[in-house]
Amino acid sequence: MPGLDHVALAVRDPRRSLRFYRETIGVEGAVREEEDGYVITTAAGVAFTLLKGVPPADPGEFHIGASFPNREAVMARREELRSLGLSEIEWSDEPGYVSTKVRDPDGYVVEIFWDAKHSRA
């Protein structure tokens, strides 16, 4: 079965988006600068690409998910996001699952979550 190899987003300002995903969300990996943006290659080998372009006016149900190792890590990141002034657009806290959703600078929804069913910890 094929694996997920890459995700590419059209963003207005690739440098701003790189800072957001690295510093605010916490996406880790090797960063490579390209002519039109940046590629973050995660430890799982997924190339997360931020290319200069025009984001969709309405991304619909599309969102990006960043998994965290446990409930406490999500709660801590939620507080950090709040302290940065990011508005939470959705919150869920139930047994075995916790999730917060915010918008990135281009309007994409980013979910920070922990799911006991899929936990790598």
What is the mean pLDDT of each successive set of 10 residues along the chain, which is 121 residues long? 82 98 94 96 93 90 90 95 93 96 94 85 50
**Domain extent listing, the chain:** 1-55, 62-121
pLDDT in tens, 80-94: 999 999 999 999 999
Q: What is the CATH T-level fold of the domain 1-55, as seen in this structure?
A: 2,3-Dihydroxybiphenyl 1,2-Dioxygenase; domain 1 (3.10.180)
CA–CA separation, 24 vs 20, rounded Å?
Answer: 5
**What pLDDT score does 1 carry?**
56
Please tell us whether the domain made up of 62-121 is placed in CATH 3.40.50.300.
Answer: no
* CA 28 – CA 114 distance, rounded (Å): 17
* Predicted model pTM: 0.87
| C-alpha torsion angle, residues 52, 88, 20, 30 (rounded to 10) | -100
Q: What is the pLDDT of residue 119?
A: 64
Please report, in angstroms and rounded to a whole number, the separation of the first and last CA atoms in the chain. 24
